[in-house]
Amino acid sequence: MKIKNHRFPEYWYQKSADVGRRIESPKLIVMHYTAGASVESCRDYMLLSPTEKQRRIGARKKIYSSAHLLVGRDGTAFQIVPFNIKARHAGVSSWKGLRSLNQCSIGIEIANYGWLDQQADGCYSRSGETPIFQTDEVYIGKMPGSVEIKGWQCYPEVQLLQVESLTSSLLAYYPSIIDIVGHQDISPGRKFDPGPAFPMARFKRLMEKNRSRADEEEDTELFPLYQTTERLNIRGGPGVGFDKLKASPLEKNTQLMELSQLGDWSLVRLVKNEKEEGWVFNLYLSPLR
């Protein structure tokens, strides 16, 4: 999935009225659960301004609550805050020397009821409008930071696959991201999401894969990038006396990596096809970095 202008263009988008200032370089991805079933109702609530939220539930103060992405149980995804804008999802929080993490993190809300109490009939639920779950619909595990055992609504695989895909795209687009955490990690004792039913280790492995890929690509970053300013032949050697290669002529704005230089000629590799290498007259190259 591609990110453009700090958004996923293929997904539903409407900007929340509950946002902060710009995020220059996100450092974390924070996973949350919604504590409810309907991702649409959570989305619509988070679109409201802090004052509108306050009025809706009759609170004494303004309520700040928004996230960048929301993912339903069927994998449906919504975006309500661009990734370069601060959302209000983390609250009082800290992680490895970073504080007030709204200002440096991307929040993903995942539709899930969260923790559940075992009922007299052996099923699981919670006070209020929480439905009743059978034992095969819950994961049994400890409350984060406690020995207390609870039931936790399971995350369906289709939902996890969508969150995984979104996360992978974010990691690729924002190399500044250094970790993937849960709300329970950055606000211990205050928050319990996404809970033990969420396979956090699976997402930590995405982080490790991304780091390995970055290490492999590190060497290529040492080479300058150019693009052609007009149609240009690519040859088997540094001069017009050498044969044109099959890729000739290169179209205008073709991106090239310069491997070496000899006089007015550059040995280049095509960015879109790394198997294609040859020599071009560098008068018709414009630097990209």
Contacts of 245 (CB under 8 A, 6+ apart): 234, 235, 236, 276, 278
The CA distance from 221 to 289, in Å, is 10
Which of 109, 258, 274, 276 is labelled catalytic?
109
Contact 142, 196 (CB under 8 A): yes
Q: Residue 109 catalytic?
A: yes
Tell me the CA distances in angstroms from 137 to 1, 155, 242, one per residue in order. Answer: 30, 9, 69
Q: Find out whether 257 and 271 touch, Cβ atoms under 8 Å.
A: yes
Which tokens is 37 given?
Answer: 């079933």
Nearest to 108 by CA among 186, 181, 50, 178: 181
Active site residues: 109
